[in-house]
Amino acid sequence: MDKKYELNVRLFKALSDTNRLMIVNMLSYNELCACKILEQLGITQPTLSHHMKILCDCDLVKGRKDGKWTHYSLNGDTVSNLVSFFHDITITDNNCMCKEDEKGCYD
Amino acid sequence: MDKKYELNVRLFKALSDTNRLMIVNMLSYNELCACKILEQLGITQPTLSHHMKILCDCDLVKGRKDGKWTHYSLNGDTVSNLVSFFHDITITDNNCMCKEDEKGCYD
DNA sequence: ATAATATATAGACAATTATCAATATGAGGT
DNA sequence: ACCTCATATTGATAATTGTCTATATATTAT
């Protein structure tokens, strides 16, 4: 269970950068090669490479090598899993862990 | 539009920590005071206070002062907004920005 | 008033991160 | 073989972050 948290923390970290969010958005439309992504962002090529590594390492994005080019695409499964996880930890129900406590601030 | 990205980056950053994810999960069940949250996590009180500040500053969590205690609860609106945003940037459609490009890797 | 309790703030430190310039790798084209 | 283009890696630097100890603030009980 702690593993699950750490896995999803990695995904949230990958999404904690404006450039990477924009990359994710671009890839939602279609597979793109790095050079096309680079055109849209005001960063250098090594910085983009670094961001793509972070996105791929957590499986949010898939890379496909094709000759000189690397084509990137969104991994829909990872997106779905993250949405599910976030839904799970935020759904409101009433299983309050402290409802039947006898002392503390909820007497 | 860039503002929207930065706003949501802040939310993703707030979720990029195992302890904070666990706090969010605890609060999904019910409002809790800091002392109750502290019991569940292996961190010191000032560290918890720091985490709560981050969660509150981005509006993911609301704090309500009540005498000695501060009661925290999840902000459902912020949760919904984040889910919408993430859905928006990840939905797959076919408006490829490079479909009609005449040069590059997509000829 | 004084003490105890709940929470916040300040300051320090180690670890992580985003970025860049420089360089390496690797695949086609001439 | 050589050159060019696309991408990755290395090494450096400044900024951010998670954690702690120590201390401050504020509220309630005695």
The ipTM of this complex is 0.89
Q: Which domain range does residue A70 map to?
A: 3-100
| Domain total of chain B | 1
In this structure, which amino acid lies at residue B22? M
Residues of A in contact with B79 (CB under 8 A): 90
Residues of A in contact with B28 (CB under 8 A): 89-93
In a domain, B32, yes or no: yes
In a domain, A107, yes or no: no
pLDDT given for residue B35 in this prediction: 96
In a domain, B35, yes or no: yes
- Contacts of residue A33, defined as CB under 8 A and 6 or more positions apart, other chains included, come to A69, A70, A71, A72, B104, B105, B106
Q: Over the stretch B21-46, which tens digit does the pLDDT of each residue have?
A: 999 999 999 999 999 999 999 999 99
Q: Residue B103 CA to nucleotide C29 C1', Å?
A: 17
Look up the protein residue whose alpha carbon has the minimum distance to the C1' of D8. A49
In a domain, B42, yes or no: yes
Q: Please tell me which residue of chain B has the smallest CA distance to A17.
A: B9
**Residue B74 and residue A93: Cβ atoms within 8 Å?**
no
In a domain, A81, yes or no: yes
As a whole number of angstroms, the distance between CA A70 and CA A61 comes to 12
Q: Residue B34 CA to nucleotide D23 C1', Å?
A: 19
Using CA atoms, how far residue B3 sits from A92, B10, B41, B88, B99, in Å, is 29, 11, 34, 15, 28
Q: Please tell me which residue of chain A has the smallest CA distance to B33.
A: A105
Q: What is the pTM of this model?
A: 0.89
Q: Over the stretch B65-93, which tens digit does the pLDDT of each residue have?
A: 999 999 999 999 999 999 999 999 999 76
Distance of CA B73 to the CA centre of its chain: 13
